[in-house]
Amino acid sequence: MGKRSGLGVVDCTILEALDSLGARPGRRFRRSARVLAVVEDRIRLAPGYAYEVLVDLVRPWTMPLLLVDGQGNFGGRGNDPAANYRYTDSRLSPAGQVALAAERGDLAPVPVGLINGNVYREGTRPPFRPRAVIEALRRVIRRSRVTSKDLIDIVGPPEFGNGCTVTGDFAALAAGCPAVLRLQARVTVSDDHGSVRIENFPPNANPDETASSIAGRAAMRDWAPRHPGLHRSARLPLRDIRDLSSQARGTDLLVCVPEPGTTAEQLRDQLLDVYGVYTTVPVALPRPLATMIRSWARAHGTEDLLASLAALENAIRVQSARG
């Protein structure tokens, strides 16, 4: 499995297991332990290993197209691990159901793997905006002479779906060359200018560890009296840091209050250089982006790709409406 959706063997087997248990969109969840038992029976993968993949398919910060809906504690982005699979429930998401239908041949192929990439599992293929990839494929299907530049412009830069800012050499990436992306949290001064808010953390950042790093950078060092100039330049002028994250709402938020004599704007500028507030990720595509788009459409050209793209787009719309 996987050739018609771009998903891995374990991903596809998890979707098959959910479907076999009747855990479909709008229907009841099934205990994750039952799902993993089916996976083990089919591909002999121990539940502990398969659960890591299942958790990825549930967590909203891992990939743009979530393939599984979860119920229970699937962990947070900080130091909050997922509960054991005996205590969580799962079912197919609308996008997961479409991907599975494509794998079974009930629909033409869908570009789920192209959209989601694999950097969430330390691969090098970044994710892209789902509707942009769908539109680029439609353009190729309807007008085969569309230029590579037009396709690259339609797809746009990688997008990680959680609101973090992405910068880097997008031209090199689109050309199929290795690149390094900088992912940066949203760092803003509060309306009353009394504090700095850090939210929309990069998906490969740990907000709990970032908070500890920021607090550590604000502490007085033993060597400060001997090197006062260096200490002033390295130390963050921070009076207080508050973690206002909410697992219930799925939000991560740090509020940093500058010490007297420092403006919130000055503190914001220094926080932008703290690793965790920003991260980097090496990326590369196996071929130039426009070539990948064309090749995907060409490989499945005899099937009704427009219908499957419409089905995937509708699934995205349904999931977006759910919030």
Query: What is the set of domains in the chain, with CATH numbers?
Result: 9-109+308-322 (3.90.199.10), 186-276 (3.30.1360.40)
pLDDT for 277 beyond 70: yes
For residues 107 and 231, the model is more confident at 107
Is 137 within 8 Å of 297 (Cβ atoms)? yes
Instruction: Show the tokens assigned to 273.
Output: 């250089």
Q: Which of 253, 244, 255, 164 is nearest to 204 (CA)?
A: 164
- Inform me whether the pLDDT recorded for 84 exceeds 70: yes
Contact 123, 116 (CB under 8 A): no
Q: What are phi and psi of 188, to 5 degrees?
A: -135, 155
Q: Say which residue the tokens 């393939």 belong to.
A: 67
pLDDT mean across residues, the chain: 92
Q: What residue has token string 């998890």?
A: 14
Half-sphere CA count of 49, side-chain side, radius 13 A: 9
What per-residue confidence (pLDDT) applies to 307?
Answer: 96
Separation CA 116–CA 233 (nearest Å)? 40
pLDDT (0 to 100) of residue 229: 54
Integer Cα distance of 252 and 313 in angstroms: 28
Q: What is the per-residue pLDDT for 235?
A: 81
Res 248: pLDDT: 55
* 278-283 sheet: strands from edge to edge: 165-167, 179-184, 278-283
What percent of the chain is modeled with pLDDT above 90? 82
In angstroms, what CA-CA distances link 48 with 11, 85, 184? 14, 8, 32
CB 90 within 8 A of CB 18: yes
Partnered with residue 188 across adjacent β-strands are 197
Per-residue model confidence (pLDDT) at position 321: 82
In this predicted structure, what is the pLDDT of residue 251?
A: 81
| Contacting residues for 153 by C-beta, under 8 A, at least 6 apart | none
Q: Is the pLDDT of residue 246 over 80?
A: no
pLDDT bucket at 141, cuts 50 / 70 / 90: very high
* Cβ pair 67, 12 in contact under 8 A: no
Q: Grade residue 228 by pLDDT with cuts at 50, 70 and 90.
A: low
| Cα four-point dihedral sign 137, 142, 144, 145 | negative
For residue 209, is pLDDT > 90?
yes
Residue 220 reports pLDDT greater than 60: no
pLDDT given at position 147: 96
- In whole angstroms, how large is the CA radius of gyration of the chain? 22
In the structure, what pLDDT confidence band is assigned to residue 247 with cuts at 50, 70 and 90? low
Whether 81 shows a pLDDT value over 80: the answer reads: yes
Model confidence at 186: pLDDT above 70:
yes
pLDDT tens digits, 147-180 = 999 999 999 999 997 889 999 999 999 999 999 9
Spatial contact of 5 and 102, defined as CB atoms under 8 Å apart: yes
Q: Give pLDDT, residue 213.
A: 93
Give me the pLDDT at residue 249, please: 60
Query: Tokens for 105?
Result: 């041949």
Q: Where are the beta strands (DSSP E) in 127-208?
A: 165-167, 179-184, 186-189, 196-199
Hunting for tokens 């293929």 — which residue is that? 125
Q: Is the pLDDT of residue 101 over 90?
A: yes
Mean pLDDT of 60-86: 93
Has residue 221 got a pLDDT over 90?
Answer: no
In percent, the amount of the chain with pLDDT more than 70 equals: 93
Q: Sorting pLDDT into bands at 50, 70 and 90, what band is 143?
A: confident
